[in-house]
Amino acid sequence: MTPAISAAGLSRRYRGQLALDNISFDIEPGTITGLLGRNGAGKTTLLRILAGHELASAGTVAVLGACPFENEKVLRRTVFVREDQSYPDMRVRQAVEMASWLYPDWDGDLAGSLLEEFELPPSRRVAKLSRGMRSALGIVIGLAARAEVTFFDEPYAGLDPVARQLFYDRLLADYAEHPRTVLLSTHLIDEAAGLLERVLVIDRGRIVFNTAADDLRGAATSVSGPAIAVAEFTAGRSVWDRRRIASQETVVVAGALNETDRARAAALHLHLEPLTLQQVVVRTAATPQASPQERTSA
């Protein structure tokens, strides 16, 4: 199958700073992929290049089989919802109508029901919307566009948890009925974890993980209990983290545990807890490296 999105040897340099450093990956069509990483890791830069908003310094990208930059054919089949998207001076209704002209698979009924669910007044001027309402407008357009490739870049600035849950639910429901390729960058990893089939974790412009979300969940386990027993259990394992209080210790070990390991841990009275997707990402992205560079990209 031709990947929906692919990057090969992709780099982006801003005034000598490398925002993306020789990135290569493929994303299969019909998947929801989480793009995860810290601020300045290069997520927005990557999305902007994939959405045809800027050019790479080196390497190539293909979206739906072609380079997206100034490529009308590709851009009509993709939608890019940005954090803090700005709109021309117009009313909500007009913003939605303009979007409907742009996307061939636009679903007006879906747009209408989403506007209601997010409580967006159609006649309000976009400039008068709160930050959260403007985010909701972006989400409405991003979902109703029903584009083959949908990019969401932290689409929920200012949205409360209820509205975010509404976004996740409507995204899942519409995706189930109309499968498409979704690339969603987010900091709220635990919240979105269930939605994700794949994850692309980037750090300092490089790919740390490109894998099934299920493989990252449980990629490490926190082992806690009496320090002596913890030491016995974790001997010879790759340890990510170690914390101790009095005689109790908690150690994070890498790698999946099997039935034998679990039985042994139970016999040693140890408590096992697999790390969540968010915890795994935090640990991998928080590892300090020599001379971290300031990035100019947000």
Partner 1 sequence: MAGLDEGAPLFVQIAERLADEIADGALAEGDRVPSTNELAAYYRINPATAAKGISMLTDDGLLEKRRGIGMFVAAGAKARLLAERRKRFAERYVEPLVAEAGRLGINADELIALIRESSYMQKGTGI
The footprint of partner 1 on residues 150-209 (CB under 8 A) is: 168-169, 172-173, 175-177, 179, 193-197
* Region from 132-140, 240-248, 270-278, 288-296 binding partner 1, contact rule CB under 8 A: 270-278
d(CA 242, CA 141): 46
The footprint of partner 1 on residues 274-293 (CB under 8 A) is: 274, 276
* DSSP tag of 118: T
How many residues touch partner 1 (CB under 8 A)? Answer: 24
218 counts as binding partner 1 under rule CB under 8 A: yes
Give residues with Cβ within 8 angstroms of 286, minimum separation 6: none
d(CA 40, CA 55): 18
* Region from 2-10, 53-61, 126-134, 210-218 binding partner 1, contact rule CB under 8 A: 210-218
For strands 206-212 and 17-27, give the pairing: unpaired
Backbone φ and ψ for 155, nearest 5 degrees, come out as -75, 5
298 counts as binding partner 1 under rule CB under 8 A: no
C-alpha pair distances (Å), 270 with each of 40, 62, 198, 250 = 38, 49, 31, 10
* Residue showing tokens 């600035």: 157
Shortest reach from residue 62's CB to partner 1, in Å:
23
Asked whether the beta carbons of 199 and 276 are under 8 A apart, the reply is no
Asked whether the beta carbons of 200 and 168 are under 8 A apart, the reply is no
Shortest reach from residue 51's CB to partner 1, in Å:
23
9 counts as binding partner 1 under rule CB under 8 A: no
Which CB, 174 or 203, lies closer to partner 1?
A: 174
Which CB, 66 or 266, lies closer to partner 1?
A: 266
Interacting residue with partner 1 among 58, 98, 228, 266 (CB under 8 A): 266
- Please, what sign has the CA dihedral across residues 160, 286, 42, 7? negative
Give residues with Cβ within 8 angstroms of 98, minimum separation 6: 90
Interacting residue with partner 1 among 31, 150, 185, 284 (CB under 8 A): 31
Backbone φ and ψ for 119, nearest 5 degrees, come out as 55, 50
70 counts as binding partner 1 under rule CB under 8 A: no
Neighbours of 191 (CB within 10 A): 15
29 counts as binding partner 1 under rule CB under 8 A: no
Shortest reach from residue 195's CB to partner 1, in Å:
6
Shortest reach from residue 145's CB to partner 1, in Å:
20
Residues forming contacts to partner 1 in the complex (CB under 8 A) are 31-32, 168-169, 172-173, 175-177, 179, 193-197, 213-214, 217-218, 266-267, 273-274, 276
